[in-house]
Amino acid sequence: MFESTAEINTVLVIEDEEVGRYLANSLLKKMGIGKQIVEANNGQEALNLLRKLCSDENCPELILLDIKMPVMDGFEFLTELDKSTDIDISGSKVIILSSSASPKDLEKARNFAYTTYMHKPLTREKLQQALSI
């Protein structure tokens, strides 16, 4: 999808665990991905952020999405995103991050054709493969 990391200006990390956000941020910075990294603690916070970012024509090119979160989980977030008429992420790559080994989660993820499903932990190799860089 991306020919180089330079094509990714904005990254949205949606993760309720502080350690998970820290690790994602660290990896992104080491890889030179994203000039701007924004964070959300849950799906609802992420939707609000996306509305602002996209209305400012700064939609993230990459979204890292945790599944298990309070308030609004990752699948609820994707469902609401699909219903939204004011957020266009057609130019975004969405990577679902999960620590779950449940086949049900993988099956649910397949309902969202624009996503890539990845098991935690996030690594350089997994991210390179998902982004095809």
pLDDT, residue 133, reads 66
Q: Which two tokens stand for residue 13?
A: 């990390």
Tokens 């219903």 correspond to 83
Q: How many domains is the chain built from?
A: 1
Q: Are 72 and 44 in contact (CB under 8 A)?
A: yes
Q: Residue 93, class by beta-carbon neighbours within 10 Å (0-12 exposed, 13-18 middle, 19+ buried)?
A: buried
What's the domain range around 55? 5-131
Local confidence pLDDT in tens for the 133 residues of the chain: 676 666 899 999 999 999 999 999 999 999 999 999 999 999 999 999 999 999 999 999 999 999 999 999 999 999 999 999 999 999 899 999 998 878 898 899 999 999 999 999 999 999 999 998 6
Orientation angle between helical segments 124-131 and 18-31, nearest 10 degrees: 70
User: What CATH number does residue 62 fall under?
Assistant: 3.40.50.2300
pLDDT, residue 101, reads 78
